[in-house]
A and B are shown apart, each in its own frame.
Chain A
Amino acid sequence: MTKDQVKQVVLDIIADIAPDEDLSHLKSDVRLRDQLQLDSMDFLDIVMELRKRHGIEVPESDYLQLASLDSSAEYLTPKFNAKS
């Protein structure tokens, strides 16, 4: 999987858990929290959806890696590729 594909995976999850957010102008290098109204409950859901849909585990100590789309792709892409 490419980093862009992984970004899309994360975007799809955010679109499902926060359908009231406009994701069309999201900057991938800026913290999600600064662009969207996401609270800790929402971040927990991103982590749990990653596990449910893709079998990817994100330990609590790594939650900060999901701060922006870029950092998420950086962190998650090897995990996706290690799986297949």
Chain B
Amino acid sequence: MNSTLHYDVAIIGAGMSGLAAGIRLAHFGHRVCIFERHNAVGGLNSFYSIAGRKYDVGLHALTNYVAPGVKGTPLGKLLRQLRIDRAELELWPQKRSRVAFGERGEISLAFNNDAGLLESEVARGFPSQIDGFKRLVALIQTYDGFGLDAPVESAREVVRQFITDPLLEAMLFCPVMFYGSAEERDMAFRDFVILFRSILLEGMARPTDGVRRIIRVLLDKYREAGGERRMKCGVKKIIAREGRAAALVLEDGSEVTATHVLSSIGAVETERLYRGETVDDRDVGRLSFVETIQVFDRPTDELGWGDDTIVFFSTSPDFRYERPSTQVDTRSGVICFPGNFSTSPETTLKEGMLRCTCLANYDQWKNLPEETYRADKERWFRSISATVRKILPAARDDATVAQATSATDMFTPLTIERFTGHLQGAVYGSPRKNRQGTTGLSNLYLCGTDQGYLGIVGAMLSGISMANFHVLQKS
């Protein structure tokens, strides 16, 4: 057994970007294998089951939603590049979302999949800002945030040229940052453009069965194209020789070789595979989250929560997107009602669900004794629920809501680190993005989070563009 398996392309990680890259490469005849450490695919966007109930992680909604027939947008590019028929995803548009600021979320900007609603909300709530807002939107619409050479400018500085009211600035940054910024307090304008467009100008939808549908479609395409995958088989080490990734050592100790290697596991995480643990963590992201999940025995509107799909909230006008000094920062967050998409009667969720995501401090969750960890989780769960009740009062009293609750769950930065492999549970990876995807080895490239296209459509486009740029356009 001296013969080592050789692939044209080895892909590390079966998340959205790895699968998308794999589909492209296998479709054009490359021998591809995806190596995935876990038994489940999806990476940051996956699902799990408890007591027969399936929970999505990561994905609240597919952003970049546009109506059928709208062309030239990221979603359309993605579908074409992967040869996915849009009907396969069965997308149901959101009902309506909001950015809600103030102690009780009383200052509100509603938006939906028609950008006109947000514009009229800004005109209503911030009449002095509407002209600047329109000019900002015009700039965003013509700005190529996806360019491989797009410059890195401060989004705060650019946005302030158009928006002078700090409250409106905070309310625009809040959804954009929560849905993808790896950077604290500010972000690159090119990333702001991608996210602003994907959430506020295009919009949100949910596939039937949530993230499972997307994963199933991707897996089917990959299989049809002839791609291979090895599950529960992570890459332990990359052997570097003469500036190239010469071989991959797998967790079972065997070795494979590949002409090209695409890694979706993160920049620092990848570098450690060939330089060892000595790679410092300066570039590791500092932002992580907790998420609470509550399942109810009835749809959430029957508890009085109405039609909101996603609510990005901040109880203070001074919205701070940074690693908190406490375990969790309940002053801001994202509330999602997965049941509030305009589905057909057959695909309506029977149970209500409420998810709430808040910023969290990885260090303060790490190395806790098991008992303390559990107690802290319970304490923060209660605290987050209380915040949600303040921002979105239910018509029913606490006792009724408690009685209607059929299951709860919560994940922490440690859960994220364990299941995604992102150091310190940094969901959105390193604040330093690398658009070209190059690494210290000439045939090893990054795709996914740290290449820097954001959102779930962005993640898939990242895999596609790195496969195109580094492999398909060169062969």
Q: Using a CB–CB distance below 8 Å, which chain A residues touch chain B?
A: 16-21, 37, 39, 41-42, 44-45, 48, 52
Complex Cα gap A20–B79 (Å): 10
- For residue B342, CB closer than 8 A to chain A, the reply is no
* Distance of A29 from chain B, by nearest CB (Å): 23
CB distance A37 to B71 under 8 Å?
Answer: yes
Contact indicator B81/A20 (Cβ below 8 Å) = no
| Main SS class of interface, A | helix
Contact with B472, one of A37, A39, A48 (Cβ below 8 angstroms): A48
Query: When each residue 43-73 of chain B gets 1 if its CB lies under 8 Å from chain A and 0 otherwise, what string results?
Result: 0000000000000000000000000110110
Q: How far is the CA of A44 from the CA of B79 in the complex (A)?
A: 15
Question: How long is the Cα–Cα vector from A41 to B464 in the complex, in angstroms?
Answer: 10
Residues of A close to B28: CB separation below 8 A: 48, 52
Q: Which residue of B lies closest to A16 (CB)?
A: B83
Partner of B71, one of A16, A20, A44: A20
Given contacts A37-B71, A48-B472, A42 and B80 within 8 Å (CB-CB): yes
At the interface, yes or no: B324 with Cβ under 8 Å from chain A? no
**Chain B residue at minimal CB-CB distance from A48:** B28
| A-B pairs with beta carbons under 8 Å apart, 22 shown | A16-B83, A17-B83, A18-B80, A20-B68, A20-B69, A20-B76, A20-B79, A20-B80, A21-B71, A37-B71, A39-B72, A41-B77, A41-B80, A41-B81, A42-B80, A44-B468, A44-B473, A45-B81, A48-B28, A48-B472, A52-B27, A52-B29
A20 to B70, CA, bound (A): 9
A48 to B27, CA, bound (A): 10
Residues of A within 8 A of B81 (CB): 41, 45
B23-37: CB near A (< 8 Å → 1, else 0) gives 000011100000000
How long is the Cα–Cα vector from A38 to B13 in the complex, in angstroms?
31
A18-B80, A52-B29 known; A41 vs B468 contact (CB < 8 Å):
yes
Assembly CA distance A19 to B27 (angstroms)? 17
Closest Cβ–Cβ distance, residue B193 to chain A (whole Å) = 18
Nearest chain-A residue to B27 (Cβ)? A52
Residues of A within 8 A of B77 (CB): 39, 41
B455 to chain A, nearest CB (A): 18
| Whole-angstrom CA separation of A16 from B82 in the bound complex | 11
Q: Is the CB of B80 within 8 A of A17?
A: yes
- A37 CB → nearest B CB, Å: 4
* Distance A16 CA – B29 CA, assembled complex (angstroms): 17
Shortest Cβ distance from residue A36 to the other chain B in the assembled complex, whole angstroms? 9
Chain A residue, CB-CB nearest to B464: A41
Interface string of B211-223 (1 = CB under 8 A from A): 0000000000000
Minimum CB–CB distance for A30 against chain B, Å: 18
Interface bits B343-380 vs A (CB < 8 Å: 1, else 0): 00000000000000000000000000000000000000
**B182 to nearest A CB, angstroms?**
26
Which of chain B's residues 58-112 have a Cβ closer than 8 Å to chain A?
68-69, 71-72, 76-77, 79-81, 83, 85-86
17 extra interchain contacts, Cβ-Cβ under 8 A, other than A39-B77, A44-B472?
A: A17-B80, A17-B83, A19-B85, A20-B69, A20-B71, A20-B76, A20-B79, A20-B80, A20-B86, A21-B71, A41-B77, A42-B80, A44-B468, A44-B473, A45-B81, A48-B28, A52-B27
Tell me the complex Cα distance, A41–B461, Å. Answer: 12
- Chain B residues in 8 Å Cβ range of A44: 468, 472-473
Cβ contacts under 8 Å, A16 to chain B = 83
Give CA–CA (A18, B71) in the complex, Å.
Answer: 10
Q: Tell me how far the C-beta of B278 lies from the nearest C-beta in chain A, rounded to whole angstroms.
A: 39
Q: Give Cα A34–Cα B72 distance, bound, in whole angstroms.
A: 14
CA distance A19 to B468 in the complex (A): 20
Report Cα–Cα, A48/B80, bound state, in Å.
14
- Residues in chain B near residue A42, CB distance under 8 A: 80
Q: For residue A52, which residues in chain B have a CB less than 8 angstroms away from its CB? A: 27-29
Give complex CA distance A48, B467 in Å: 13
Bound-state CA distance A20–B78 (Å) is 13
